[in-house]
Structure 1
Amino acid sequence: MDVLTDLLQRSRARGAAFSHSTARGAWGIRFPTGGKLAIHGILGGEAFAWTDDPGRSRHVLTGDVVLVRGPVQQFMAHTPGADVVPFAYPRSAGPGRGARRMEFGAESGDPTTFFCGAYTFQGELCAGLLAGLPDLTVVRPCAGSSLRAALDMFAAEILRDAPGQQALLDSLLDVVLVQVLREQLATDVAAAPAWFRAMDDPSVGAALRAVHAAPARAWTVADLAGEAALSRATFARRFTALLGVAPLTYLADWRMALAREQLRDGDAGLAAVAHSLGYASEFSFAAAFKRHHGVAPGRWRTSAGTAAPSPRTGMR
């Protein structure tokens, strides 16, 4: 279980809405700002995309993927700073059973076509998933890449109107998201979250995979050093240098992040939450939670969990 897989699965990312747009002539679009993440794939033609400042727009071409981390104003147009209309107000649209068909701009002229997928995320773990991404990312997959193949499949399916389309589009968008995140995080490693950089270390990466595969296990530093095939002292030094925290601190932080998710989103009792995270009893879990957050888990749950997540892995 690698960290990216764990965060994606636990963040419960789902494609909430899809659209296939055609724009001609002078056109500009202002997209909704409420989502955590949006993906725009340029299927044909070209455009400019930006968030807060048209002067920092990116020129996007056929095959490019634009990833926007929200909530933020986001725009796409035939030229930077063009007049824009809200995305919810197309000149024509057909709802269909799957993706909405949208048209913008003039009735004639060379078209720019693109698809949009708006992601919704539940829970705070997506903070760790999206940490390190700029507001707007442009990824240009090379010919023959797996991302290019996934985009081609998505482009073909989004124009169909067949049973099961929504489920298939959700799955394909998940594939696109994973591959875009891989490419972007690997491209700008210095800005990537610490857990992503650490995954490239064969020893520390092995220990991280072990923790995320079995967070309830009663791990010791010696156990994790064994997973890393290093001595205890060497492993502890290398882990702390890469992650910024000691191994057992990372484990405790990750367990607390999972605890907050369960307390916020579920109705399991404290004993069940404690057992799922490897604590010997409800009381030991409650004591650990209070040390970590300064408030008992029951009171934290009642207050709807206003604690701010940390950018390390969505942890406090």
Structure 2
Amino acid sequence: MDVLTDLLQRSRARGAAFSHSTAHGAWGVRFPAGSKLAIHGILGGEAFAWTDDTGRSRHVLSGDIVLVRGPAEHFMAHVPGADVIPFLGLPSSGPPGGARRMVFGTGSGEPTTFFCGAYTFEGTLCTGLLAGLPDLTVVRSRAGSSLRASLDLFAGELLGDAPGQQALLDSLLDVILVQALRQQLATDVQAAPAWFSAMDDPAVGASLRAVHATPARAWTLADLAAEASLSRATFARRFTALLGVPPLTYVTDWRMALAREQLRDGAAGLAAVARSLGYASEFSFAAAFKRHHGTSPGRWRTAAASPSHAGSVG
């Protein structure tokens, strides 16, 4: 279980491909704020994309993936700073239950074609991952790369109308997202979460996979060092250098992050949460949680459920 997979699965990342657009001549569209992550793929032609009214834009070409960290209003047009109209107000067509097809713009010339999609994430586990992305990211798919192959497959399906189209598009969109995130994080290592680079270390990566596969295990330093095939002292130094925290601190931090998600959901009792994270009893879990957060899990859950506090509870 690698960390990226664990975060996306536990955050129940859900994406939907919702449109295929063909823009002719002069055009410009405004996408509304809302989703935590918007994704656009340039299938043909070129465009400019930006996230604020100043028109500071990125030139995007066929094969590029544009990721917009939200919630943020953003724009796409034939030239930087062009006049824009609301994207959601444009007329559309398409098969029932499938992606919408939209044609707009004025004038002639080579059209720009692109798809649009959006992602939602439950809870806050992916907050750190998304925070490592710029407001607007352009990921360039290289010819012959797996990302380009996925994009080509997606583009072909997008223009069809066979049964099950939307389910297949949503699944392919997940593939494109993971490939794009992987490429972006590898390119911008300084902004990427520490665990991303650490996963490439054979020893530390092995211990991270083990922790994320079985977070409820009663991990000791010796256990983690054994996963890494290193001595305890060597492993501890190497892990801390890469992650910025000692191994057992990482384990506790991850368990507490999982505990917060379960408490935020509100369905599981404290005893069930404790068992799921490997604590011997509700009381030992509550003590660990209070040491970590400075408040009891019950009080934390109440604060998280309050609209006036939900945004500030980490």
Match of 2:141 in 1: 141
Counterpart contact for 2:95–2:161, Cα < 8 Å: no
Match of 2:116 in 1: 116
Secondary structure at 1:48's aligned position in 2?
Answer: strand
> How much identity, in percent, do the aligned residues show?
81
Secondary structure at 1:190's aligned position in 2?
Answer: coil
Counterpart contact for 2:49–2:57, Cα < 8 Å: yes
CA deviation after TM superposition for structure 1 residue 276, in Å? 0.5
Secondary structure at 1:60's aligned position in 2?
Answer: strand
Write the letter of the residue equivalent to 2:71.
P
Match of 1:151 in 2: 151
CA deviation after TM superposition for structure 1 residue 32, in Å? 1.4
The two structures, once aligned, show a CA RMSD in angstroms of 1.7
Match of 1:163 in 2: 163
Quickly say closer, same or farther: Cα 1:169–1:266, change in 2 above 3 A. Answer: farther
CA deviation after TM superposition for structure 1 residue 107, in Å? 6.4
- Quick check: 1:297 aligned with 2:302? no
Identify which range, 290-299 or 113-122, moves more after superposition: 290-299
Match of 1:60 in 2: 60
Counterpart contact for 1:35–1:120, Cα < 8 Å: yes
CA deviation after TM superposition for structure 1 residue 76, in Å? 0.4
Write the letter of the residue equivalent to 2:269.
G
Write the letter of the residue equivalent to 1:26.
A
After superposition, give the CA deviation of every residue in 1:97-127 in whole Å (9 maximum; x if it has no partner): 1111122222644311100111111111111
Match of 1:98 in 2: 98
CA deviation after TM superposition for structure 1 residue 92, in Å? 4.2
Match of 1:287 in 2: 287
Q: TM-score, normalised by structure 2?
A: 0.94
Instruction: Tell me, in whole angstroms, the C-alpha distance in 1 between the residues paired with 2:91 and 2:107.
Output: 10
- Unaligned regions of 5+ residues in structure 2, if any? none
Match of 2:81 in 1: 81
Counterpart contact for 2:129–2:192, Cα < 8 Å: no
- Unaligned regions of 5+ residues in structure 1, if any? 310-315
Instruction: Tell me, in whole angstroms, the C-alpha distance in 1 between the residues paired with 2:236 and 2:311.
Output: 29
Match of 2:213 in 1: 213
Match of 2:191 in 1: 191
Instruction: Tell me, in whole angstroms, the C-alpha distance in 1 between the residues paired with 2:48 and 2:114.
Output: 12
CA deviation after TM superposition for structure 1 residue 74, in Å? 1.1
Instruction: Tell me, in whole angstroms, the C-alpha distance in 2 between the residues paired with 1:259 and 1:172.
Output: 31
Counterpart contact for 2:26–2:107, Cα < 8 Å: no
Quickly say closer, same or farther: Cα 1:289–1:190, change in 2 above 3 A. Answer: same
Q: TM-score, normalised by structure 1?
A: 0.93
Match of 1:276 in 2: 276
Match of 1:240 in 2: 240
Match of 1:6 in 2: 6
Secondary structure at 2:240's aligned position in 1?
Answer: helix
Instruction: Tell me, in whole angstroms, the C-alpha distance in 2 between the residues paired with 1:49 and 1:96.
Output: 30
After superposition, give the CA deviation of every residue in 1:30-66 in whole Å (9 maximum; x if it has no partner): 1111111111111111100111265531111111111
Counterpart contact for 1:7–1:128, Cα < 8 Å: no
Secondary structure at 1:274's aligned position in 2?
Answer: helix
Match of 1:312 in 2: none
CA deviation after TM superposition for structure 1 residue 246, in Å? 1.1
Write the letter of the residue equivalent to 2:141.
P
CA deviation after TM superposition for structure 1 residue 17, in Å? 4.7
Match of 2:257 in 1: 257
